Amino acid sequence: GENVEQHPSTLSVQEGDSAVIKCTYSDSASNYFPWYKQELGKGPQLIIDIRSNVGEKKDQRIAVTLNKTAKHFSLHITETQPEDSAVYFCAASRISGGYNKLIFGAGTRLAVHP
CA dist 5 → 29, 42, 45, 103 (Å): 16, 23, 20, 10
Nearer to other proteins, 78 or 104 (CB): 104
Nearer to other proteins, 46 or 82 (CB): 46
Indicate whether 12 belongs to the interface with other proteins (CB under 8 A): no
**Rounded Cα–Cα distance for residues 33 and 104 (Å):** 10
Give DSSP secondary structure letters for 1-62.
---EEEE-SEEEEETTS-EEEEEEES-TT--EEEEEEE-TTS--EEEEEEETT-SEEEETTE
Q: Which of residues 95-114 bind other proteins (CB under 8 A)?
A: 97-102, 104-107
Q: What sign results for the dihedral spanned by CA atoms 6, 8, 9, 11?
A: negative
Nearer to other proteins, 44 or 64 (CB): 44
Indicate whether 4 belongs to the interface with other proteins (CB under 8 A): yes
The window from 32-40, 52-60, 66-74, 76-84 that contacts other proteins (CB under 8 A) reads: 32-40
Indicate whether 53 belongs to the interface with other proteins (CB under 8 A): no
The contact set with other proteins (CB under 8 A) reads 4, 6, 9, 32, 34, 36, 41-46, 49, 51, 89, 93, 97-102, 104-107
